[in-house]
A and B are shown apart, each in its own frame.
Chain A
Amino acid sequence: MASHTSKAFLSLGRINVSGLGLQKSVSRVTYATDLSIRSSNVNKGLPDRGDRGFFRRPRRTAGEPRTEKMPVDQDWTAVYPAATPFRPSSVPLPVRMGYPVKGGVPPEKKGNLELIKIPNFLHLTPAAIKKHCEALKPFCTEWPSALDTDKKCDEHFPIKVGSTDYVSAGLSVRNPSARIVHLKVKLSSLNLDDHARKKMLKLVGERYCKDTDVLTITTDSCPLRQQNHDYAMYLLTVLYHESWKTEAWEADKTVADMEEYSWEDSPSQRNVLDMLVRMKVAGEGEGEELREQLLGRKEVQEYKDSVTRLKNEGESESTMLQYKEAVKKVLNL
């Protein structure tokens, strides 16, 4: 009997001593683990702070963590089926995170706020992703196998419509820039003749890129993307049909309006023919047929090609060389 009571006293004393010792041995660095120790000493019923007058119910002690009971070949997708914060008692990994205590290691996962703060991907393990995709597969469709190259896509589907979606966390899920629509089409894929193409280029102006032959129409005047898309298609239709029309005032097109240089009825043609006529003034008869005959000569044709190329493409090594050769042939040098 006495031994029992003495043992009881001893055990009590030991608990007290160990409690005090724990409080003293806590290091200067405070972590969230500190709080659990404090709260276990204070839950005996009496409120410790004066301002809080209510009776705090004694908290039941936590059992052993779930990690002890986890088999190795368990189904992890059942442990973390959805995105949840980190639960140290549910994750059987010895993770440590945080700034190391002096002379020590980073703190353990129990009560570690740093691990709870960061986003975790425990619900998206490869096994979980495979399961999700298996469930999602029936809703997917296959890409048509005949459209494997970009060229075939361009041939059958020449119009490309581009738009952007934005996903972000904020006060509102909507982003006004999501209504912008870009419509890109290659002019070579539209049914345009020469006049229609030139008129289209004049109507469109800067929206056409000569290197890639792509017309880009960007619409953002309507508040909804569907409306902008319809407006872009409407613009394309109008451009197409208007460019096929020939107005009366288009007959007043001057040489300055021409997009590219044409040698017929140009000062260059007149000069060359005049010069050749004067050179051959002792030869055949004069008149229009002489000019026609001269036009048909090979050197004159070559000269015409070289001048056209020079004017259209600009000055470069090859164009200048070609012009030089043509001039030499015409003047018989």
Chain B
Amino acid sequence: MAAPMALRRELFSLARKISGISHLTPRALGACSGHRKCNIIRSHLPLASSTSFHTATVFLSTPSSITVTEEPDTLFQKVSLLVKGHDRAVLDSYEFFATMAAKELGININKVHELPKDMERFTLLKSVHIFKNHRVQYEMRTHYRCIELSHITGCTAQVYLEYIQRNLPEGVAMEVTKTAMEKVPDHILEPMWEDHPIDDKPSQ
């Protein structure tokens, strides 16, 4: 009995951290944006550190205030990234980038594998008017790469996915992320009827 209670306490203290500069792009980010009702506190960027603009800290020139809320963090048992593209070399580089970023952020990677490519071929007439015997064939190759991550919290997943998606190469690679969440049922613990239920319409 003590173990679940301790676990619950630990989970409730796992607060969700909101960044001051979290620009939620219109791209559909991870499913973790489910029941987020917290306000994002924008930090006032101090101007003093703008002198360091031209050095390496261009991407995050000012320290943002990190807000920690009491809302419990979502937990993802499995996050699976599927990257699609026409060019295999670009996908190789992207996979290197994604795996390195995951290792740096401490996310454990389950599996990185390559699915067999899809080739869509079609045959068209070569000429505008006649000449049915002369055709031209085109094909479109779609290469895939699948990266499976496991045991990520909602905050980490949001950070990682936003970083990954912002650095997606142009046009060539598309990404599909499957997120499996875990939750505890609360009002399904006990049936709401008495011992001898009569069939009246339930009102929940």
Contacts and interface: CB of A to CB of B under 8 A. Distances in A.
Given A139-B66, A166-B174, A126 B179 contact: no
B202 A164 contact: no
Nearest to B97: A124
Interface string B11-29: 1001111010000001111
A82 interface: yes
Interface in A115-130: 118-119, 121, 123-124, 126, 129-130
B189 to A, nearest CB: 6
22 contacts: A78-B54, A129-B97, A129-B100, A136-B160, A139-B17, A140-B160, A141-B17, A141-B73, A144-B75, A153-B75, A156-B184, A159-B182, A161-B180, A164-B31, A166-B175, A184-B180, A185-B185, A190-B188, A236-B188, A237-B187, A241-B193, A247-B199
Given A119-B90, A141-B73, A136 B192 contact: no
A119 B172 contact: yes
Contacts of B10: 144, 146
Interface residues of B, number: 80
A68 B192 CA distance: 79
B87 A118 contact: yes
A174 interface: yes
Given A159-B185, A162-B178, A236-B188, 17 more contacts: A75-B56, A77-B56, A121-B94, A129-B100, A133-B105, A139-B66, A143-B75, A144-B14, A147-B7, A153-B75, A153-B77, A156-B7, A160-B182, A165-B28, A178-B28, A237-B204, A240-B191
Contacts of A82: 58-59
Interface of A: 75, 77-78, 81-83, 118-119, 121, 123-124, 126, 129-144, 146-148, 150, 153, 156-169, 173-175, 178, 184-185, 190-191, 196, 225-226, 229, 236-238, 240-242, 244-248
B90 A118 contact: yes
A310 to B, nearest CB: 35
Given A118-B90, A248-B199, A141 B188 contact: no
Interface of B: 3-4, 6-7, 10-11, 14-17, 19, 26-31, 34-35, 54-60, 66, 73, 75, 77, 87, 90, 93-94, 97, 100-101, 104-106, 151-156, 159-161, 163, 165, 167-172, 174-185, 187-193, 197, 199, 202, 204
Contacts, number: 208
Contacts of A248: 199
A148 B75 CA distance: 12
Contact of B175 (A140, A141, A167, A173): A167
Given A140-B106, A147-B75, A245-B193, A174 B28 contact: yes
Contact of A153 (B56, B182, B185): B182
B66 A138 contact: yes
What are the 10 tightest A-B residue pairs by CB atom distance, in nearest-first order? A157-B182, A133-B104, A244-B191, A119-B169, A168-B174, A140-B156, A161-B181, A163-B31, A141-B155, A135-B60
Instruction: Determine the main DSSP class of A at the interface with B.
Output: mixed
B73 A163 contact: no
Nearest to A131: B56
| Most central of B3, B54, B169, B181 by chain A CB within 10 Å | B181
A78 B56 contact: yes
Contacts of A174: 28
Nearest to B169: A119
Given A135-B59, A245-B197, A157 B159 contact: no
B63 to A, nearest CB: 9
A48 B169 CA distance: 41
Nearest to A135: B60
A165 B177 contact: yes
A137 B90 contact: no
Contacts of A164: 31, 176-179
